[in-house]
Structure 1
Amino acid sequence: MSKHSFAICSLIRIGGSPDAPPISYAIREDRLRGIGFDFVRQILPKQTHVEIAKPMPWLRAIHWTRDGHIDLLVGLQSTHYPPEWFTYLEPPLTTSAHSVFYRRRELPLRNLHALLPLRGATLRGAKSATHSHSGFDLSQLTLTTADSVEKALKMLALDRIDYFIAPQWHAISSWLNLYSEQSLPLAMLPEPVHINPVYLALSNQSPCLADKEALEAAIIKAKREGLMEALLEQSFLYSNVVDQFHDLLR
């Protein structure tokens, strides 16, 4: 058996977020899908049996992974959880940019400083940080919380907020599904607020933890061969977002 052969993991139970397209999502469906799951299937041996958990609130999926009911969590973007809960697989699958979205106007916003007199929202449960990717002091902003991107879009449409901060893929795809350009003209600041690594995380209660080195070797090989880029190109959801991306920059 080679150094990185799979020894234990003949069955792996996988979970993820219902609200993190295109990595992991469930849109009006009773099953999780996304390129994160496609990636995992392709790096595992063919004989490994894969079970994908039903969609559940993200916090519940995290707790199920902590307790060992889920072996592998797809799409974890924060490393602030207790180290005894998870083992993060390196390298990350990809990165997720979180940006500022606002109602399109004649005089576009140019940078984070333009947000200072405005009312904004962040997603409940999102990574709390004091500074942006570029070093801007986020504590200067007036921010409330929204339970989801869909709620943030509704708050923006009703003029209850002037902008919101959310993952680019999720915000744009939700906007495309819920609104037309005429009903809610949207724009996006060019500078992201956060750029988070997107991890696969193994439960420390999982027997698959014994295969950590084999899984990481498979991730490195797949990334070197361009698997994530190929999956992104094949994703209709991602392509739909990309088509709109540059139109939102003012």
Structure 2
Amino acid sequence: MIKPLLIYIVLAMGTFQVAIADPVNCYSVNISAHPNYPPFHWKEKDTIVGASIDISQKIFERLGVEVSVSYEGPWKRVLMSAKQGKIDFIPALKKTSDRQEYFLFTHNEFSINPVAIFVRKGETKVPASLEDLVGLFGSINAGDKHGDKIDSFVLKQPNMQFIHGLAQNFEMLKLGRTDYFITGFYTGYDYLKSNELSEHFKMAFKINGLKVHNGFALHYAKECNAIIKEFDKQLSLLKQKGEIEQSINDYNELWLGKYKEH
């Protein structure tokens, strides 16, 4: 009877050790974001920079939380890293029903991020609403979400293409292989301006009132609710002071200035 009992104790200890091998440290967060979504965030060398990173770091520092920012790869991989527990926090992303399955979003939004529908210049008939896009050939950046209303519309369109990267989406539009491209207003506008492509494209219409929130991965949220509540309070204070809007404007100018030099 002794040997089986010893085996049981060893197995039980082993199981217990596995359960606590990687405890969540609420005062240390790994964050990442979309690698090509200025002025909110974009890849620079081997990290991510932008207004969302700037504001998030400022808040975490106030809370005594150590921050590690990393470039994880394409947007889909960033989201998968959060699902798998490799990333604790992603700032400034759309709050959708499917993402709420693996994120706890802040109550206060980070900012308002309108969505724009871009078309080629010179078209005789310019769409003015989502209903006008039905039957046309469209594209959207693969992995992007713009809220349940737009996401639902996109999924119902049989002629929708999911293409990686702003450059590829605008190139398909320029070549006439698509009729419109749905993306964030700031992102699309900045890309066209910084690459001197405004003569080829125009914004057909813009959908306002769409918010971006900050998302805490559930593995972190379950253990660190006190930190999240304080983060939300600080986010509200910075918004009231106009610091978030100022940061977005500053990084917008930084992005445009940086890429005008090349």
Question: Same-fold call, TM > 0.5?
Answer: yes
Asked whether 1:204 is paired with 2:203, we answer: no
Query: For 1:54, what is the secondary structure of its paired residue?
Result: coil
Distance 1:117 1:10, change over 3 A: closer
* Alpha-carbon shift at residue 21 of structure 1 (Å): 1.3
Asked whether 1:125 is paired with 2:139, we answer: no
Distance 1:129 1:75 in 2: 13
Residue 161 of structure 1: aligned partner: 178
**Structure with more helix by fraction:** 2
* Alpha-carbon shift at residue 74 of structure 1 (Å): 1.4
> Does the 8 Å contact 1:123/1:149 carry over to 2?
yes
* Alpha-carbon shift at residue 227 of structure 1 (Å): 1.4
Residue 5 of structure 1: aligned partner: none
The residue type equivalent to 2:97 in the other structure is H
The residue type equivalent to 1:45 in the other structure is E
The residue type equivalent to 1:168 in the other structure is F
Distance 1:154 1:234, change over 3 A: same
* Alpha-carbon shift at residue 41 of structure 1 (Å): 1.7
Distance 2:133 2:98 in 1: 30
* Alpha-carbon shift at residue 117 of structure 1 (Å): 5.5
The residue type equivalent to 1:180 in the other structure is L
Distance 1:123 1:219, change over 3 A: same
Asked whether 1:170 is paired with 2:221, we answer: no
Distance 1:14 1:213 in 2: 18
The residue type equivalent to 1:26 in the other structure is K
Asked whether 1:214 is paired with 2:230, we answer: yes
* Alpha-carbon shift at residue 139 of structure 1 (Å): 4.1
Distance 2:76 2:155 in 1: 25
> Does the 8 Å contact 2:118/2:201 carry over to 1?
yes
Distance 1:222 1:14 in 2: 20
Asked whether 1:30 is paired with 2:39, we answer: no
Distance 1:155 1:83, change over 3 A: closer
> Does the 8 Å contact 1:95/1:198 carry over to 2?
yes
Residue 165 of structure 2: aligned partner: 148
Distance 1:61 1:210, change over 3 A: farther
> Does the 8 Å contact 2:142/2:164 carry over to 1?
yes
> Does the 8 Å contact 2:95/2:147 carry over to 1?
no
Asked whether 1:79 is paired with 2:96, we answer: yes
The residue type equivalent to 2:213 in the other structure is Y
CA RMSD, aligned part only?
A: 3.2
Q: What percent of counterpart residues are identical?
A: 20
* Alpha-carbon shift at residue 121 of structure 1 (Å): 1.7
Distance 1:136 1:82 in 2: 17
* Alpha-carbon shift at residue 233 of structure 1 (Å): 2.6
* Structure 1 unaligned spans of 5+: 1-7, 242-250
The residue type equivalent to 2:203 in the other structure is M
The residue type equivalent to 1:198 in the other structure is V
Distance 1:217 1:130 in 2: 26
